[in-house]
Amino acid sequence: MTRASTRKPGEATGDDQAAVPRRLLEHATKLFAKKGFDRTSVQEIVEAAGVTKGAMYHYFGSKDDLLYEIYARVLREQTRQLESVASSAAPLRERLAAAASDVVVSSIDNLDDNTIFLQSMHQLSPDKQKAVRAERRKYHERFRGLVEEGQASGEFRTDKPADVVVDFFFGSVHHLGSWYRRSGSLTARQIGDHYADLLLDALRPPSA
């Protein structure tokens, strides 16, 4: 305690000496993913993080806030990644394939966040839930834009509504957490490429 007391607050130094908010978020993520939001008590979280309830409520307004912060971080990162891939100069098919594969890989890398998203989204307070949905929607729309671009250029089939295709694909992505195991024989990238192939091939015009 006194040993590390000279460092600035908010700075991470070691492993369990990382900043308190970061440690809380980290352990909360693991616990929420494992036992669900409602089944995880604040007491458990702070014990896992090695702090007290007082510390937690010092940094976060509520247990809800904790969950919201977890979401927000993931959403920001995914949106950033999609934007970067989607606006590159590569051909459309490559951009879509890369975007699809990337979101699979990042979902697998952060399986816990993904699981939480799936299970605990709806027990956020209504307004925070709305904020998350809005962000999520923007992400989907950007992705859908790629599909529509291909439909307009004739590269993709037009007999399937773009939003149905996008929902179809993201359903698969969101559900990775329920079956993917790190012990399996396929790497995250291999799954990502498979998924991207399946999407792209499903989008081929029926005649081609």
- Interface positions with its own copies (CB under 8 A): 36, 38-39, 118-119, 122-123, 160-161, 164-165, 167-176, 178-179, 186, 191, 194-195, 197-199, 201-202, 204, 206
Per CB under 7 A, 196 contacts DNA: no
In the complex, the smallest distance separating the C-beta of residue 9 from DNA, rounded to whole angstroms, is 4
- Measured CA to CA, the distance from residue 46 to residue 27 in angstroms comes to 8
Site of tokens 């859908």: 144
Per CB under 7 A, 20 contacts DNA: yes
Using the contact rule CB under 7 A, the part of the chain among 35-43, 81-89, 158-166, 175-183 near DNA is 35-43
Instruction: Give start and end residues of each alpha helix (H) in the chain.
Output: 20-35, 42-49, 53-59, 63-86, 92-109, 111-120, 126-153, 162-174, 188-202
Residues 64-83 that bind DNA (CB under 7 A): 64
Based on the number of CB atoms within 10 Å of its own CB, is 37 exposed (0-12), middle (13-18) or buried (19 or more)? buried
Under a CB-based contact definition with an 8 Å cutoff, are residues 196 and 100 in contact? yes
Instruction: Report the interface residues with DNA, using CB under 7 A.
Output: 1-2, 5-6, 9-10, 20, 38, 40-44, 51-55, 57-59, 62-64
